[in-house]
Amino acid sequence: MSNRTNPVMKIDNLAVQVVGDPTGRQVLENISFEISSGETLCVVGESGSGKSVTSLAIMGLLPAGSLKPSRGRILVDGEDILAASPARLRELRATRMAMIFQEPMTALNPVETVGEQIDEVLRIHSKLSKTARRQKVLAMLESVHMPDVERIYNSYPHQLSGGQRQRVVISIALILEPRILIADEPTTALDVTTQKQILLLIRELQKKHNTAVLFITHDFGVVAEIADRIVVMNRGHLVEVGTREDILARPREAYTRMLVSSVPSLIPQKREAPVTDIVLEVQSLSKNYSRKRLFGSGGSVAAAQNVNLTLRKGEIVGIVGESGSGKSTVARCIVRLQDPTSGAVLVKGEDIARVSGPQLRPKRQRVQIVFQDPYRSLNPRMRVGDSIIEGLVNFGTKREAALKKARELLGLVGLSDDSMQRYPHQFSGGQRQRICIARALALDPDILVADEAVSALDVSVQAQVLKLLGEIRDRTGIAVLFITHDLRVAAQICDTILVMQHGSIVEAGPAAEVLTSPRREYTRTLIDAAPGRGWDFQNFGPLISGAA
């Protein structure tokens, strides 16, 4: 039970403003909350709500020259962070407070071993000998359940899996046993089983050291699993604060009710699979990657093995599985961003798996893809209208006709005509993904491949994009191959689900059948690992007694 009388951290009337803005624009205003030892406080809200700005302000990491605190206090064990000198802040970041970021590869140095990077914290902030530091690092790696800690100690970040890299970041954050741990979307990019492992690990270490955890996330399934209390933010303001049950079961504010009810249900909607023409048939598709070594061959790795699938007009087929299961490899082979090692990819009966060069170019019109990160998919120097018409113009459409079609497509995805003249950075993440969908539809493809197209979006934006894809499917009859690690999303949009493990399809069938009556143990493991599966978010309450 946390001690609410003596909070580890207290934020009192915090405001953060844009530096140099003549209007004095505030990105945070009147933010006040506290967190106690052993407590997990989740901060939720849409992109732009101020969640990450709040965490950066606590750590003293606001970008200099862009943002600065303009009012309020941030007290850690009674000491005001905002009044601390740079030297004192550096000391506090390791000894009193630490942070885990969303993407471990950007938080780790790619040219230093894991051991060196954890050791650096001890070398700077302790007087331990080199031998003692090494023993402490190895013990920390064992405490985060790393296999073969000596090997991990001497490994570089790229030699580890995503889950292992996140464990290294956690080790760096907790090696000096700070009083408060800030976790900023640490599981967003992880599959459900790895996510479950990381959440259990953070909880285990929290109990061991009585650490206060400030957990920033847009995943309400995670919130339902781990939160003691919840802070809801919107556009730089605090909307409401309450216990997990208060916020998830009895939200007071309309904004909170909208957020919670936007969480997709794990219970699939019953839909009849379309009995229409087959537009895509994948037969015995395999993809092997060769291991490169300095001297000689290192053999090969099978990323996809003997994959068979059928996609009909107007059907949405989902492929789910853990990271490394082969989902994206299959998608990239189908759209011919990678060459399959063997097998056939039949688009309306024509095999495009062996077509290359000039013969492949016209086939690309028929299969288009939407990627996970819309910002990386769009040229930041091109106006949106030019991005959408690029494919049309390349395939011979007159510019005037292409622009007319681009306007129609923007209307189809719910954006106005004036979007044509704007640049990608002037849109939100959800709007950018709508632009990517419009661009993919410009060539009237038979098949749309969505590779984790909504996994990085807020729940409210995610719900909008899923609804949009369903409407486009109903209106145009396009067939959609939907790649995801989020079973909630798959349950809401997919007619058919294929489950992949180690490059092979291990189970396939109607979505309602696979997600409610799985035949394979691996599928059951995936479903059991889905966070918040005991909550009915649409109806604001637990599905079963005691789920809360």
Query: Are the C-beta atoms of 48 and 67 separated by less than 8 Å?
Result: no
pTM of the model: 0.82
pLDDT in tens, 22-61: 887 899 999 999 999 999 999 999 877 899 899 999 999 9
Structure tokens, 508: 């396939």
**DSSP 3-state assignment of 351?**
strand
Q: Is 48 exposed, middle or buried (0-12, 13-18, 19+ CB in 10 A)?
A: middle
Cβ–Cβ < 8 Å for 167, 145: yes
H or E segment at 492?
Answer: helix 487-493
Q: Concatenated DSSP letters for 363-426?
A: GGGGEEEE-S-HHHHS-TTS-HHHHHHHHHHHTT--HHHHHHHHHHHHHHTT--GGGGGS-GGG
Each residue of 401-417: pLDDT tens digit?
999 999 999 988 888 88
Say whether pLDDT at 20 is over 90: no
Backbone phi, then psi, for 441, in 5-degree steps?
-85, -10
Which of 163-167, 225-229, 288-292, 452-456 has the largest mean confidence?
A: 225-229
Quote the Cα angle for 13-36-189, to 5°.
85
pLDDT in tens, 342-359: 999 999 999 999 888 888
pLDDT at 268 over 90: no
Q: What is the mean pLDDT of residues 87-93?
A: 90
Q: What are 468's two structure tokens?
A: 């949009």
State pLDDT tens for residues 425-448: 888 777 888 899 999 999 999 999
Confidence bin at 299 (pLDDT 50/70/90): low
Question: For the ranges 304-313, 369-378, 490-499, which has the lowest average pLDDT?
Answer: 369-378
- Contact call for residues 424 and 435 (beta carbons, < 8 A): yes
101, 169 contact by CB (below 8 A): yes
Which structural domains are found in the chain, ordered by start? Answer: 9-262 (3.40.50.300), 278-529 (3.40.50.300)
- Residues, the chain, total? 548
Q: Is the pLDDT of residue 547 over 50?
A: no
Report which of residues 420 and 187 the model is more confident about.
420
Interior angle at CA 498, CA 497 and CA 499, nearest 5: 115
Burial 407-416 (b: 16+ CB within 10 A, else e): bebbebbebe
Q: What is the pLDDT of residue 548?
A: 37
Mean of pLDDT over the chain:
89
**What's residue 4's pLDDT?**
58
